[in-house]
Structure 1
Amino acid sequence: MHLAVLNSFGLLVQKLDRVSLLDTGLFVLLTSFTSYQCFHHLEPRSKLPLIALLFVVPVLLSVPIFYHVPWFSAAVLLAFLTYGSAVTSFALIYRLSPFHPLAKYPGPAIAKTSKLWAAYHCAKGDLHRLYKSLHDRYGDVVRVGPNELSIRDSSLIHPILGQGGLPKGPRWEGREEPPMLIAQRDPILHMHQRKSWSRGFSSAALKEYEIVVAKRIRQLVGCLDDMIHRSDQKANTVMDINRWLKYFTTDFMGDMAFGGGFEIMKAGRDIDGIWTLFESGVCISGVTSHIPYVGPILTAVAGQRSPLVRVRAFGKERVLERLRMGANRKDLFYYLSGEELPESERPSPADVAKDGLLAIIAGSDTTSSALTALLYYLLCNPAAYERLQAEVDGAFPGGEEPLDVTKLSQMEWLNGCINETLRLQPPVLGGSQRRVDKGKGAKVLGNLIIPEETQLCLHTYSIHRDPRNFHTPEAFLPERWLNTAPAGEHNTAAFFPFSYGPTICAGKNLALMEMRMVICWVLRRFQFSKAPGVIYEEWEERTLDWFIVHQDPLLVSVSHRV
């Protein structure tokens, strides 16, 4: 039997030896084209098919190539280069060809070839400004990926995001299974996962949280007081207000999600590196969301050093600590962990850990960035600042603490300032990706017919700054939100900073409550002004889009009000 195998191998060698270089080249191209078709039609994502197509096939191709080069190592290298170049070329030719389903939509050629382009600009943090410039140049529908469109048409918000709209896109693929709420693509499973969040953000639950918010705001005010008292120039104490607002929101969401224990404000610095860890994870997640297949590879290479792995481990550790503490109060964790449910219906600790991390990162970073942006716009618009301060003083005279949530929600100028901030700088600048799934048929959206397997993204930043929706769109004009607003375009249906429809931000009402209480409290207590030597006009330009907003330090002068 061994002899027969050797003879067969020998015959194969002889035949391969007689194969011409042209025949070998054609065989490599035909194999490469077949592999491209597998990638194009089957979209393999599991490990074994990917390993077979990316590594096994070129290794096998090195055998016929070996008979035309002196060393087998050279044959392997040539096989990988030829195979990789051919598969890539087939993909590029098709994506740029008039036969592609999205060929009629305008956009830069580089964007049509690969999402690596978008990942690069996400890493730079300028994706929101880039997409807006593309919409200004090409119109309401721009092709920003091989199979992705960015949309600036506000009339499509409801058809895409509303009830019966499109499911989430593949941006969150390659993450943990089962996915956290924000990454859940199945509408039925999303609705099921959201139930605990809905209970945790009900009106009754929010009433319970008011005490915790007030306690943390008092601590924030005390920290700013201490900074002023320790300063040599008490009337002009310069501090990074962005840092303190991050500390506040993180401490508060730590109370909500894990029963407390962070105490960053008390330490006066991020002593445990919590924010450094979160921001690293957010940046990597934002970049790899454009190329989801890269995420698992980076995680596998980095191992335990990966920020994503460390963030997950942090969440699991906090959950175990919180479970040991038990239900001593009805915080958000109480609802996320199902402590009010029978034990058989409670989610697993791993699922609770993911929900807790989502609550902290989404609830702290987005709220702190909105508060920081609001103070920035107020400092750049003194008349708006003075009017808001007067409204606060009138609503809460004589040093009264702004605890009345009902009164806060009815303060017109305050709400106008918050809405205008969220219009100019929504916490998620690029919006949420959706997809027309395979097998569902083309989707008709207004005058658009969107083919299957097309990703869509309603670009929030561009829609909010479209002059057809809001007059003078680059200006901070809180008066546009008043009942007595001056004439001009004002399309409230185009305002969706918390997203829209069944997947609207679950914590929207908590975030608004926090923002109202914090702003009123600090404006009653302190006077803010521009720090000397700081060029404020450049601060907004340095805002980065890593899916959620990343901001530079905001230096301000703070003093006690007389």
Structure 2
Amino acid sequence: MSAAPNTMLLAAILGLLNHIYFHRHPPANATIPILVLIIQPAFLLLLLPPPSLSTVLLTYTTFLVSLILSITAYRLSPWHPLAHIPGPTINKVTKLWGAWVVAGGKQHLAWKRLHDKYGDFVRTGPNEISIVHFDAVKAILGTGGFPKGEYYDPRRDPTLASTSLLLLRGDAHASRRRIWNRGMSTEAINEYEIILERRVMQLMDRLDGFCGTAVDIAGWFGYFAFDFMGDMAFGGGFDMMRDGGDKKGLWELIANGARNIVIVSQTPWLSSLIIKLPAASRGYTRLRGFGATCAANRIKRGSETKDLWYHLTDEAGIEKTKPTHADVVSDGVLSVVAGSDTTAVALSCLVWFLLSHPDIYRRVQDEVGSVYPEGESTLDSSKHEELKLLAACLNETMRLQPPVLSNGTRQVPRGGGRVVAGRFIPEDTQIYIPPYSLHRNEAYFSDPEKFDPDRWLRPPTDDSEWKHNTGAFIPFSYGAANCVGKVLAWREMLMVASTLLRRYEMRFAQGDETARWTDGLRDYFVTSMKGPLMVEMGRR
């Protein structure tokens, strides 16, 4: 046997051995494995006399083909720990497919189709599954549930020692969450209501100027939400409603950053390598500069009220150890990004659903008029409990179009794996519980594709055919890591929606293609709106 065939055989064996090694010792990042994979075949070539170019190419090709075939065969084999979970072959082999789907913002729709085909458990990656079973919600997200998975790691800015609440785990999360809970307590929210009322009236004043013409209501909800969250987190300074748009390019910064990060999150072990690329790190740099500028302005300007910054910095001196300035900046940026997009999307979808169902629109208008008769202010949040139908409409909106469509992963802790909803899931498996698919599961909601607010008002019934399982409704997530701003978001949405409904008559703009507007929503962790929602408005 000549030297070259010997080298090819050794290259094939080396590829197999690399798979065995890295399977037992998964790399935390891609840098070292890639270097190793480049260097190893070079050492084999030293066994030969000065090799030809064709021999070099054949050696590397044999090595890589052996490695890829070994990985593929194992992931498709009955010996893989997730072999009992059904799913498309491409999902089992690679996450690159997932990255491609996510890049288009259609992950929620793709997974819904997979669950419709395969059932409650679907293998969405080589070491990843998606579950839409009610029992999994408490088991995974509830008390004693699973920690956050690898999906969140690429969201960490590698140039900073700080991190936001979204990325923290375990005791660190509990400690920071305690501070956030004070910032989102009823007492604190009552302080924020002064800011909220002012911004709601500014929104209405600006919308008054569009009466008789068509206006992109979704865009203005976005300006409003961004301004309010900026006021609350950093004492103001954005003023998109005043400017009539995003003059500073903040939306583009955040939207592009969200899209890029969610793509990288599909292959988190590659993130440390990708982030070294100038094009990829630019988003982190700009977002970091945005946060630093907002913080500096807040410190210089101060605030007339006890805003969220006041609580996050622990100005009251309650904590034994004060949060670092960098941590507070990270959390402030998180509040703006998470609080503005989600509220704007929910309000926009609410308007779309109501105008698409005129009978429900009239009913909810009548309810708002009865709760806030002529002469009474819709800014009075003490009457929000009386807005039963409007609350039901918001619930139904978030059931069909949750602000977070697919969520992030949780990871099965080490120690032998866990049984989830009757199925054994091995340790280190990444698990999604996607709200979009869960909320549309006919096992938990009758006629799940229909916009039916009355399902939330229907009294308990013995009808076994009727399904309305609110335990399978998680628009604000569930458990200790649920949305800390849920109460504030509800107050904000009810105040804006009730004021809007009392003040205006609305209809879709003439000739506007609105029938499929929700098809343009994009899943980039938080829902992103694509395209205007044009509405004609007139004062009532």
> Is the shorter-chain TM-score for this pair beyond 0.5, marking a shared fold?
yes
- In structure 2, the residue corresponding to 1:150 is in which secondary structure? strand
Map 1:219-368; keep pairs closer than 5 Å. 219-228=202-211, 234=212, 237-302=213-278, 306-326=282-302, 328-341=304-317, 345-368=321-344
Deviation at 1:47, TM superposition (A): 6.7
Q: Give the gaps of 5 or more residues in structure 1.
A: 1-17, 229-233
Distance 2:34 2:322 in 1: 38
Q: Check the 8 A contact 1:66/1:75 in 2, yes or no.
A: no
Which residue number in structure 2 is paired with residue 38 of structure 1? 21
Which residue number in structure 2 is paired with residue 403 of structure 1? 379
Q: Give the gaps of 5 or more residues in structure 2.
A: none
CA spacing shift, 1:65–1:356, aligned 2, 3 Å: farther
Residue identity opposite 1:121 in structure 2:
V
- Structure 1, residues 338-357: CA drift from partner, whole Å, max 9, x if none? 22227972222221121111
Deviation at 1:320, TM superposition (A): 2.5
The alignment status of 1:543 with 2:521, answered yes or no, reads yes
Q: Check the 8 A contact 2:92/2:126 in 1, yes or no.
A: yes
Deviation at 1:460, TM superposition (A): 1.2
Distance 2:29 2:122 in 1: 31
Distance 1:299 1:250 in 2: 27
Distance 2:539 2:96 in 1: 51
Deviation at 1:556, TM superposition (A): 3.1
The alignment status of 1:87 with 2:84, answered yes or no, reads no
Residue identity opposite 2:83 in structure 1:
A
Distance 1:407 1:431 in 2: 32
Counterpart pick for 2:448 among 449, 473, 477: 473
Which residue number in structure 2 is paired with residue 445 of structure 1? 420
The alignment status of 1:103 with 2:83, answered yes or no, reads yes
Deviation at 1:537, TM superposition (A): 2.5
The alignment status of 1:171 with 2:151, answered yes or no, reads yes
Which residue number in structure 2 is paired with residue 122 of structure 1? 102
Distance 2:317 2:82 in 1: 48
Distance 1:78 1:246 in 2: 55
Distance 1:336 1:423 in 2: 31
Task: Between 366-375 and 545-554, report the one with greater CA deviation.
Answer: 545-554
Deviation at 1:294, TM superposition (A): 3.2
Residue identity opposite 2:432 in structure 1:
C
Identity %: 39
Which residue number in structure 1 is paired with residue 199 of structure 2? 216
Map 1:416-431; keep pairs closer than 5 Å. 416-431=392-407
Which residue number in structure 2 is paired with residue 11 of structure 1? none
Q: Check the 8 A contact 1:65/1:79 in 2, yes or no.
A: no
Q: Check the 8 A contact 2:235/2:303 in 1, yes or no.
A: no
Q: Check the 8 A contact 2:182/2:188 in 1, yes or no.
A: yes
Which residue number in structure 2 is paired with residue 556 of structure 1? 534
- In structure 2, the residue corresponding to 1:310 is in which secondary structure? helix
Q: Check the 8 A contact 1:33/1:90 in 2, yes or no.
A: yes
Deviation at 1:206, TM superposition (A): 0.6
Deviation at 1:75, TM superposition (A): 5.7
Deviation at 1:547, TM superposition (A): 1.6
Distance 1:500 1:201 in 2: 17
Distance 2:377 2:231 in 1: 21
Task: Between 479-488 and 362-371, report the one with greater CA deviation.
Answer: 479-488
- Structure 1, residues 524-549: CA drift from partner, whole Å, max 9, x if none? 11111011112332112222211221
The alignment covers a number of residue pairs equal to 533
- Structure 1, residues 76-130: CA drift from partner, whole Å, max 9, x if none? 5555444333322221111011110111111000000111111110111111111
Deviation at 1:195, TM superposition (A): 1.4
Which residue number in structure 1 is paired with residue 183 of structure 2? 200
CA RMSD of aligned residues (A): 2.1
Deviation at 1:521, TM superposition (A): 0.8
Deviation at 1:453, TM superposition (A): 1.6
Deviation at 1:51, TM superposition (A): 4.9
Q: Check the 8 A contact 1:35/1:53 in 2, yes or no.
A: no
Which residue number in structure 2 is paired with residue 381 of structure 1? 357
CA spacing shift, 1:255–1:61, aligned 2, 3 Å: farther
Residue identity opposite 1:242 in structure 2:
A
TM-score, length of structure 2 as denominator length:
0.94
Q: Check the 8 A contact 1:240/1:555 in 2, yes or no.
A: yes
Counterpart pick for 2:408 among 432, 437, 442: 432
Residue identity opposite 1:179 in structure 2:
T
The alignment status of 1:528 with 2:511, answered yes or no, reads no
- In structure 2, the residue corresponding to 1:527 is in which secondary structure? strand
Q: Check the 8 A contact 1:253/1:359 in 2, yes or no.
A: yes
Distance 2:241 2:514 in 1: 26
Distance 1:342 1:458 in 2: 36
Which structure has the greater CA radius of gyration? 1
- Structure 1, residues 247-280: CA drift from partner, whole Å, max 9, x if none? 0000000011111100011000110000011100
Residue identity opposite 2:242 in structure 1:
K
Distance 1:339 1:62 in 2: 64
Q: Check the 8 A contact 2:162/2:330 in 1, yes or no.
A: no
Which residue number in structure 2 is paired with residue 454 of structure 1? 429
Residue identity opposite 2:441 in structure 1:
D
Distance 1:87 1:341 in 2: 57
Distance 1:56 1:179 in 2: 35
Counterpart pick for 2:475 among 481, 494, 497: 497
